[in-house]
Structure 1
Amino acid sequence: MPLLTLDHITLNLGKPPLIDDVSLTVERGERLCLVGRNGAGKSTLLKIVAGDVEADEGQVRVDGGRVATLPQDVPEGTEGSVYHVVAEGLGETGALVERYHALTEVMAEGGEIDFDELQRVQQGIDAADGWNLQQRVESVITHLDLPAEAEINSLSGGLKRRVLLGQALVQQPDLLLLDEPTNHLDIDAIDWLESYLKEWSGALVFITHDRAFLRALATRIVELDRGKIRDYPGDYDTYLERREQELAAEEKAQAEFDKRLAKEEAWIRTGIKARRTRNQGRVKELQRMRAERAERRHQSGTAKVTVQEAQRTGKLVVEAEGVGFAYPDGKRVIQDLDATIMRGDKVGIIGPNGVGKTTLLRLLLGQLEPTEGRIRRGTNLEVAYFDQHRAALDPDATVQDNVAGGRDKVTINGAERHVISYLQDFLFAPERARQPVRSLSGGERNRLLLARLFTQPANVLVLDEPTNDLDADTLEMLEARVVEFGGTVLLVSHDRAFLDNVVTSSIAYDHDGIFREYVGGYSDWLRQRPEPARAEAATPASQAAPQPKAQAAEAEAEKAAPKRLSYHEQRELEALPARIEELETEQGALEQQMGDPEFYQQEAETIRQAQERLAAVQSELATAYERWEELEARRDIR
C-alpha cells in the first residue's frame, strides 16, 4: 500500500486552477523530486500534503506514518534556543532531552541546579529510551553547523531555515517533505545531507534547484506544469530527455489542431449557399474545438537574461600579493593570499559558511583594505553586485517600481525599454509586474533581483549565491549569459553544477584563513586539492546521520557531477579545433623558420626565445589534442 496518496487534488486561486485534478502515489523508500517553473505551485502542493493548506477538492492520505516538513518560510512564533527548536521535533521526549541539556550546561559553567529535577529528567529519558535521541539531536546540530545556545530570533533567515531542517531530520519520520533544503547550506553540509538521505529508509518528497543534489538523490521526478503533473521514473537526465520529446510532441499536436480549427473557421464563414447546407454535427464539433482552444494553457516561456556590458577593463582586474586581513579585535580572517584575476576570468569562490568568503570579496573589490600585503586593482572597473541580503527588495512596492524606481522605462544597452516589456523577459506577466513584491514566490524574488541587477552596465559581475530558488530553465539561461559575458565574474556559490558549468578557475578555502587558487570548477578543485584529513567513523544511521569520510565525500561529489558535457565544456569543445589549427600553423611557421640555415646566424637570445616558444607550442598542442579527445568522447553521453 502506498505511504502517500493524492486523490484528484484541485486548488483554485483564480483562473485557471493552480493545481488541477492531480493524483499521485508515493511508496515507502522512494525519493521523489517535485520540479517545475517558479510559481507553478510546487510549494503549495507540498503544503497541501503537510496539511498546512486545504485543497478545494480531493483527498490526501498518509498510511499510518509520521510526516515532517521543512517549509520555505519560517513559521511565526518560532522561538527559543537552537537546541530547544531542534529537540522540539521529538515531542515530549525532546522536551526532556532539551531540559537535560540546559541543566548540564548550567553545571558545566559552575552554576547551581536542582539535582532532584536532574534525576527526574534522567529517569524520564531512560523510560523513553531517549539517550539515542539526545545523540541524534547533537549530531544533527553539529553537522548543520548550528549555534546550539543561540536564540533563534537572533539568527539570519538562512540560519533559521537550517534550524528547521535540523528539527525535521531528528524526527526521522516516515515521510519527509523538504522545500529547497540546500538553500543557505555550504558544500560540506550539502554533502552530509546527501549521504544522510541516501541511507535513510523513509519516503522523501523534495523541491530543489540544486541539480547535483537532485541527480544524487532522486529515484523519481514529478513535474508540475500548468496545474497538471507528469511522472518520470528514473534519474534527472532521463527526465530531461523524455520531457523534451513530450514537449515537442505536444507542440506538433497543437499545431495540427490549430490548422484543423482554422480550416473549420473558414468553412463556417462561407456564403449563404454553404450555410443553408452546412452539417449541424460539424457545427457542434467546431464549437467543441473552439472551447478546447480557449481552455489551452500555454507553457511559460524561457527567461531572456541580458547582461549589460560596460566599457572593457584593463587586462589586469585584481592582483593580490601576500594579503592578510584581521579585524580590530585581532581575529584573523585572511592570510597569505596570492591571486591574480585577469579580464574575462570567471572565478568561483568556494568554502564553508563563515570562513571569510564575503570578506575576501570586499578585499578584492576595495571595500576593505588589507592589514597585510598589497592589492593592485585594474582600471575602469564597473561592478554589478548581486547580494541577496544587501539588495533587499521593498515588499510593499510593486515589481516594476523595484526595478525602475517609479519610472516607466529602463535603459538597457543604451536603448530605452518600457519596464513592463523588460520584466516580461524575466517571465513577469504585465499583471504580475503591477503586484507588490510580497506576493512573489522565492524564485520570483530572485528573478526580480537579477532583473534589477542587469539594468546596471558592468564589466565585473559579483554574484553571491545567485541560484537560490531559480527553476532549472532560468538557471541554465543564467549560466549561458554568465559564460558569454565578456567581462570578469566573481561567483560565490554552493551550487556544484553551476560552479562546474561556469567558472574557469576557483579560489577555495584551505585552512586557518588560507585560500588557494585552482584551475577549473568544483569537480576540478576536488581532484587538485590536498588530501583532506580523514573523518571520524560514522554514527549508525539508526541513531544519527552518518558522517562520511572525506574520501567518500569526494567520490560522491564526483558521482553527482553531470556526465554530459556542461555548457562551458560544449563551448570549449567548439573552440578547440580552431585553437589546434592556430597552434599547428604557428608550429609549422617556427619549424620552417628554424630550418633556414640563416636562422642560427642571429643573436643567441633570439634563437633561445624561438626554441622555447616552439617547445611551449608543442606542449600546448599536445594538451589541446588530449582535451579535445576527452570532450569528444563524452559529447554523446547522456
Structure 2
Amino acid sequence: MALINLENISIAFGHVNLLDAANFRLDKGERVALIGRNGEGKSTLLKIINREIHADKGRIEYQQGCRVARLAQEPEWRADQTVFQAVAAGLGQLGELIEQYYLLTHHFNEQENETQALKKLADIQHQLEANNGWLLEQKVEAMLSRLQLPAEQKMEALSGGWKRRVALAQVLITEPDVLLLDEPTNHLDLEAIEWLEELLLDFTGALLFVSHDRRFMQRIATRIIELDRGQLSSYPGNYDTYLQRKADQLAAEATQATKFDKFLAQEEVWIRQGIKARRTRNEGRVRRLKQLRQERQQRREQIGKMRLSLDSGESSGKIVIEAEKISKSWQDKVVFNPFSTVIMRGDRIGFIGANGAGKTTLLKILLKTLEPDSGTVKHGTQLNIAYFDQLREELDPEQSVFDAVGQGQDFIDINGQRKHVMSYLNDFLFAPARVRSPVKTLSGGERNRLLLARLLTKPANVIVMDEPTNDLDIESLELLEEMLSEFPGTLLLVSHDRYFLNNVVTSCFAFEENGKIAEYVGGYDDWLRQRPSPSVSTQTNPPQTKTETVKKPQNNDSTKSKLSYKEQRELLNLPSVIETLEKQIAALQLEMGDPNFYKGENAAMNRTINQLRDLEKKLETAYARWQELEG
C-alpha cells in the first residue's frame, strides 16, 4: 500500500479549479518534485496532504501510522527564541516541556526565586519521566549536532539560510514518513543548497517537494509530478527526462486539439445549412454538436508565457566600469580586500559567494551607490543602467500594479512603440482584475514579474540583477535566460540558481576565503572546475584565466615519473575504466530513450534510473582522479 493515495481530489478558489479530480500516489522511498506555474495550486496540494486544509471533493488515504511533516516557505519564529527552543517546538507539547527544562537548567543562576525554580524544575522532570521525555531531549541535541546548529543562538540573529536549517531540524525531529518541502532552496546560498541536497539524499522517508531550481530537481528527484490546469501528470525519472517527455506530450496535445477544432468547425457549418439539420434522423448529430461545444468551452488552455523584450538603446562605451583596488569593511569584518577589474561592453558576469559574503555590497560599489573604503570606481560613457533589486525596494506596496508600471500614464513607449499599460501587463501574465490590486497583495512570483515589467519599460545597455530568479516558475526562468542571452549590452548578475548562471553568464566574480575576490571565465560549472581545492590555500592556487575543457585521459611519461608505481598503474588503467563507464551510460540512456521504457513497472524504472545515476557518479570520480594524477 502507498504511504499516501489521493483519488479525484478537487478544490476551487473562486471560479477556477486549482485541482480538478486529480489523482496522486506517493510510495515509500520516493523523492518527488512537484512543478507547475505560479498560482497553479502547488502549495495548496501540500497543505491538503498535510491536513491543513480540506479538499472540496475526493478521498485521501494514508498508510496506518504515517507521519507527515511540512516545511513552509516562510516559517514563523519568536524573536527571543533560541535555536534549541525552535527545534524542540517541533515535538509539540513535550517539546514545550523540554524547552522549559532547558531554560531552567541553563539559566538557573538567573532565576530570582531559586526555591520556586527548583519546584518547577522537579515538576517538569516528573512530567518528562512519565512521557519518556529524556529520550526526546537527546533527539533534539542529536539533531542540533547533526545539522551543526548553535543551540544558544537567538533566531533573530540568524541569516535566512541558517533559519532554513533550523526549520528543517524542526520537521525532521518528528521523524516523518513523508516530508513536504515548499521551495526549500529559496534564499539559500550555493553551499547551503549543496548541504541540503546531501541531507535529502540520505533521508530514508518519502519526499514531496515544490521547487523551481532545475539543478536541485535533477539531482534529488526520482519522479516529476506536474500540476497543469488542475491535473497531475507523472513523469518517472529526473528533470531532463521530464523535459523530453513533456515536449512530446504537448506536441500530441496540440495535434489532438487541432483535429477537434477542425471537426467542430465542420459541424458548425453543417448546422447552419438550415432545416435539414433539424430533421428527426439528424437529432443525434445535433446533440453531439451541443456536446462538442460544451467540451470546447470547458477546455482549459495552457497558461500563456510571458512576452519579454528589451530595448538596449544606444551602445555604451567600450569600457563600462573600471574599478581599481577597491575594498570594503563593516566594523571589524573585512568584506573584501583590494580588488581591481575592468568590465567591458558585452560582459555577462555572475557573482558567486555565500550569503553575507558581500555580493550586493560589491554591486552597489560598482554602481557608485555605495562608497568603498579605498580605491576608485570609474564609469564609462553613455551608460543606461537598469537595476533589479533583491529586496524589491523600488516597489511601493500601497501603489497599484497599474501605477507601478505606468507611473500615472495610461500609455508607455516600448521599443519605440506606444503601448497601453493594461496590454503591456498582460504580456507579464497579469489579468485585468489583478492590474488594479495594490502591490502588497502580490505573491513573491508576481512581484518578481512586476519588477521585470517595470525594469523593461526603459532602454538599458547595462542590466544589474540581484536574485531575479526567486519565486519565478520554470517557464519564466527560461524566457528570462533567453532574453538575457540575446541582450547585446552588459549584465551583472547575483544568483544562486546554478542552471541560470550556466546558461547566462560568461564569467564569474567568486568570493573566496580571507576577503579575496577572484575572476573566472565561464559559468557555475566552469568555476567548480577551476576553483582552488578547499583543502589548499587559495594563495598558492591562483585562479585560471580561461575555462578548462575536460579531455580524454592520455598517458604522460613526465607525469608518471613523479608517481608511485601503484599510482602509475592506476593512471594507465583509467582510460579504459572511463571508456567502459561511458559505454554503460550510453546503453542505459538509449534504453531510457525508448518510449516503452516508461510503460514498465515503477520498481524496474527506478532501478535503471538509480543505476544510471551511480554510473555517472563513478565517471565523475574517475575524471577527478585522472586530473589529480595528471596534475
Deviations 1:155-175 (A, max 9, x none): 787776564344223333111
Q: What is the identity percentage for the equivalent residue pairs of Structure 1 and Structure 2?
A: 50
Aligned 8 A contact 1:4 1:27 in 2: yes
Residue in structure 1 matched with residue 70 of structure 2 by the alignment: 69
Residue in structure 2 matched with residue 18 of structure 1 by the alignment: 18
Distance of 1:375 and 1:104 partners within structure 2: 55
Higher relative CO (CA 8 A, sep ≥ 6), structure 1 or 2?
A: 1
Aligned 8 A contact 1:506 1:517 in 2: yes
Residue in structure 1 matched with residue 50 of structure 2 by the alignment: 50
Question: 1:255 is matched by which residue type in structure 2?
Answer: T
Alignment RMSD: 3.1
Are 1:211 and 2:217 matched, yes or no?
no
Deviations 1:376-425 (A, max 9, x none): 32222222111131435444543222222343222222322111111121
Residue in structure 2 matched with residue 291 of structure 1 by the alignment: 294
Question: 1:225 is matched by which residue type in structure 2?
Answer: D
Given candidates 376, 380, 383, the residue that maps to 1:381 is 383
Given candidates 451, 454, 460, the residue that maps to 2:453 is 451
Are 1:168 and 2:171 matched, yes or no?
yes
> Structure 2 vs 1, CA of residues 112 and 532 (structure 1 numbering), >3 Å: closer, same or farther?
farther
**Which has the higher mean CA deviation after the structures are superposed, 384-393 or 312-321?**
384-393
Aligned 8 A contact 2:328 2:337 in 1: yes
Deviations 1:267-326 (A, max 9, x none): 111134564476111111111111111111100111111223132221112222322112
Residue in structure 1 matched with residue 31 of structure 2 by the alignment: 31
Aligned 8 A contact 2:160 2:188 in 1: no
> Structure 2 vs 1, CA of residues 59 and 463 (structure 1 numbering), >3 Å: closer, same or farther?
same
Residue in structure 2 matched with residue 195 of structure 1 by the alignment: 198
Structure 2 residue runs of 5 or longer lacking an equivalent are: 537-546, 548-585, 594-631
Residue in structure 2 matched with residue 629 of structure 1 by the alignment: none
Map 1:455-604; keep pairs closer than 5 Å.
455-533=457-535
Residue in structure 1 matched with residue 154 of structure 2 by the alignment: 150
> Structure 2 vs 1, CA of residues 384 and 147 (structure 1 numbering), >3 Å: closer, same or farther?
farther
Residue in structure 1 matched with residue 139 of structure 2 by the alignment: 133
Distance of 1:305 and 1:208 partners within structure 2: 23
Are 1:342 and 2:344 matched, yes or no?
yes
Distance of 1:475 and 1:164 partners within structure 2: 27
Distance of 1:147 and 1:399 partners within structure 2: 43
Aligned 8 A contact 2:94 2:133 in 1: no
> Structure 2 vs 1, CA of residues 111 and 390 (structure 1 numbering), >3 Å: closer, same or farther?
farther
Residue in structure 1 matched with residue 232 of structure 2 by the alignment: 229
Question: 1:477 is matched by which residue type in structure 2?
Answer: L
SS at match of 2:135: coil
How far 1:76 sits from its partner (Å)?
8.9
How far 1:465 sits from its partner (Å)?
0.8
Distance of 1:220 and 1:70 partners within structure 2: 20
Given candidates 422, 425, 444, the residue that maps to 2:424 is 422
Deviations 1:182-234 (A, max 9, x none): 00111111001000000110111100010000101011111111111111111
Question: 1:486 is matched by which residue type in structure 2?
Answer: P
Question: 1:291 is matched by which residue type in structure 2?
Answer: Q
Residue in structure 2 matched with residue 590 of structure 1 by the alignment: none
> Structure 2 vs 1, CA of residues 274 and 226 (structure 1 numbering), >3 Å: closer, same or farther?
closer
Are 1:359 and 2:361 matched, yes or no?
yes
Given candidates 260, 267, 270, the residue that maps to 1:267 is 270
- TM value normalised by structure 2: 0.78
How far 1:533 sits from its partner (Å)?
2.9
Given candidates 443, 447, 453, the residue that maps to 1:441 is 443
Question: 2:71 is matched by which residue type in structure 1?
Answer: L
**Which has the higher mean CA deviation after the structures are superposed, 406-415 or 332-341?**
406-415
**Which has the higher mean CA deviation after the structures are superposed, 76-85 or 53-62?**
76-85
Structure 1 residue runs of 5 or longer lacking an equivalent are: 535-568, 570-633
Are 1:300 and 2:303 matched, yes or no?
yes
Aligned 8 A contact 1:87 1:137 in 2: no
SS at match of 1:486: coil
Residue in structure 1 matched with residue 318 of structure 2 by the alignment: 315
> Structure 2 vs 1, CA of residues 192 and 151 (structure 1 numbering), >3 Å: closer, same or farther?
closer
Distance of 1:501 and 1:443 partners within structure 2: 21
- TM value normalised by structure 1: 0.77
Aligned 8 A contact 2:80 2:154 in 1: no
How far 1:53 sits from its partner (Å)?
1.8
Aligned 8 A contact 1:324 1:373 in 2: yes
Residue in structure 2 matched with residue 603 of structure 1 by the alignment: none
**Which has the higher mean CA deviation after the structures are superposed, 301-310 or 439-448?**
439-448
Question: 1:51 is matched by which residue type in structure 2?
Answer: R
Distance of 1:406 and 1:74 partners within structure 2: 37
Aligned 8 A contact 1:93 1:128 in 2: no
Distance of 1:518 and 1:110 partners within structure 2: 56
Question: 1:211 is matched by which residue type in structure 2?
Answer: R
How far 1:137 sits from its partner (Å)?
3.8
Question: 1:91 is matched by which residue type in structure 2?
Answer: G
Distance of 1:102 and 1:527 partners within structure 2: 47
Residue in structure 2 matched with residue 80 of structure 1 by the alignment: 81
Distance of 1:376 and 1:140 partners within structure 2: 48
How far 1:83 sits from its partner (Å)?
3.5
Distance of 1:448 and 1:139 partners within structure 2: 42
Question: 1:311 is matched by which residue type in structure 2?
Answer: E
SS at match of 1:512: helix
Distance of 1:219 and 1:230 partners within structure 2: 14
Question: 2:374 is matched by which residue type in structure 1?
Answer: E
**Which has the higher mean CA deviation after the structures are superposed, 48-57 or 390-399?**
390-399
Aligned 8 A contact 1:2 1:28 in 2: yes
